[in-house]
Structure 1
Amino acid sequence: MYRKPINRVKEVIDYYKLNISNFEKEVGLSNNSIQTAIKRESNLKDETLNSILNRFSEISAEWLLTGNGQMIKSDSDNYKIITSSTDGVPYYENIEVSGGALPMYSDYKETPTFYINYEHFNDCTAYLPVVGDSMYPSYCSGEIVAVKEILNKDVIQWGETYFVATNGNANDLKTIKQVHYHEDESKIILRASNPNFKGDIVINKEDILHMFIVKGKIKRNQL
């Protein structure tokens, strides 16, 4: 059942052990504005939600707006960016992970923009930026995903999200999608999680140049 953001705002108020009046003052809202919204179960303005997120920075924007994920941001923000050494996993600013299945016609060697040293993802192959919204809300444009290359394409975790790069037979795609089983075991199905992007993409395994499982992400509030 869909729950409006105002219901999650009540959880935020309870989490910080504030009464509604004090919460309104903390966020800089007029008296009784939240109280009225709670009574009417009405939607909040974007400006109000942004004020809440600005004041309580540890609250996940994705959770507050959509209900997905956890209320408090995970410790994935506790990573270290290293620009002067090669410790950690390389981040490639110019190799975009397309959430819209855009074709990429070049596959040249890139120099890492910098390295990210975050223990839980240090077994990954690379960090890459996401563009497009076909994987919203799981992976949004502007976020960074940590990917690990898999070498055996016959061992796939069905339903999980992968970054797949193909050859010209599959239109040179470089895309992030959920991977699903196809009855023809020589093929796989690529599927968007955003319901606004309808239709599956079916590709032959032999046309896959590289395949990476997405192990996690880093969320950027500003680019």
Structure 2
Amino acid sequence: MTENQRLKIILEKLNFKTQKEFAESLNIQQGSLSDILRERIGISTAIKDRLFLKFNVNISWLEDGAGEPFLKKGPVVSEAKEGVPYFNISLADEDVFALEEEQAEYFVNYKPFNDCTAYLPVYGDSMYPKYASGEIIAVREVTNHDVLQWGEAYVIMTDEKSNNMRSIKMIYEHADKSKLTLRSSNPNFKGDTIIDKKSITSLYIIKGKITRNLI
């Protein structure tokens, strides 16, 4: 059985009256859902995120048939603006990174991370195994760049003087107090990046992650 065929089972178990209602709940066109169910196209990572966050679908079961179709507990998506906003944003693809409520795809009410600024998906493997592609991270904005936790992972945005960086990196102290040392956790990404603190436009500490099949 393929993951597309397993999605049909999810549709049946969620008791949606029509495919149109299910498509609307996933924020996709009915035609796109039809193409997925007919196995003309695959299920995107964004759709899997929505299935996990909105309906507690066990993505391991969806992809490989492992475990049960639904997880027993986990984050709850709020129709009202309650909880922390989730943004389906790839840092590498965005010219502008602004965490504004009207851009949020939905809100996630999950007590361990309700003091955070946003949820973001992880793309790429520069931070593997600390944060793997496909995981969802909870981040909190840091406004005082002189009080940082060395060795912790941050989402970092810089100006043109530091090549307009938008990345996830671990931060370490530099001998020059006006600079920071950035490092990947993946040993295949060797070499440090040095930036000026003044070049930082936005900084978010990663407070934790939601692995789709963690809970």
2:69 & 2:149 partners in 1: Cα distance? 34
2:190 & 2:127 partners in 1: Cα distance? 12
- Residue of structure 1 equivalent to 2:83: 88
| Contact 1:92-1:128 at 8 Å conserved across structures | yes
1:57 & 1:140 partners in 2: Cα distance? 22
Deviations 1:91-130 (A, max 9, x none): 001x224xxxx47533456610000001111110000111
1:54 lines up with 2:66 in the alignment: yes
Measured at CA, do residues 217 and 106 of structure 1 come closer, stay the same or move farther in structure 2, by a change above 3 Å?
A: same
CA RMSD of aligned residues (A): 2.5
1:147 & 1:92 partners in 2: Cα distance? 11
AA of the residue aligned to 1:105 = D
Of residues 148, 156, 167, the one that matches 2:140 is 148
2:69 & 2:193 partners in 1: Cα distance? 38
- Residue of structure 2 equivalent to 1:137: 129
Measured at CA, do residues 192 and 165 of structure 1 come closer, stay the same or move farther in structure 2, by a change above 3 Å?
A: same
Secondary structure of residue in 2 paired with 1:54: coil
| Contact 1:87-1:116 at 8 Å conserved across structures | yes
Of residues 95, 118, 124, the one that matches 1:105 is 95
- Residue of structure 2 equivalent to 1:70: none
2:175 & 2:191 partners in 1: Cα distance? 17
Secondary structure of residue in 1 paired with 2:212: coil
1:195 & 1:134 partners in 2: Cα distance? 8
1:78 lines up with 2:74 in the alignment: yes
- Residue of structure 2 equivalent to 1:180: 172
TM-score for the superposition, normalised by structure 2? 0.63
1:154 & 1:96 partners in 2: Cα distance? 27
Which structure 2 segments of 5+ residues have no match? 1-62
1:78 is displaced (CA, Å) by: 1.8
Which structure 1 segments of 5+ residues have no match? 1-49, 59-72
Equivalences, count? 149
Task: From the CA coordinates, give the structure whose radius of gyration is larger.
Answer: 1
Of residues 150, 159, 171, the one that matches 1:158 is 150
Secondary structure of residue in 1 paired with 2:187: coil
Measured at CA, do residues 119 and 107 of structure 1 come closer, stay the same or move farther in structure 2, by a change above 3 Å?
A: closer
Measured at CA, do residues 103 and 173 of structure 1 come closer, stay the same or move farther in structure 2, by a change above 3 Å?
A: farther
AA of the residue aligned to 1:196 = N
- Residue of structure 2 equivalent to 1:123: 115
Deviations 1:106-158 (A, max 9, x none): 34566100000011111100001111101001101111100001111000000
1:216 lines up with 2:208 in the alignment: yes
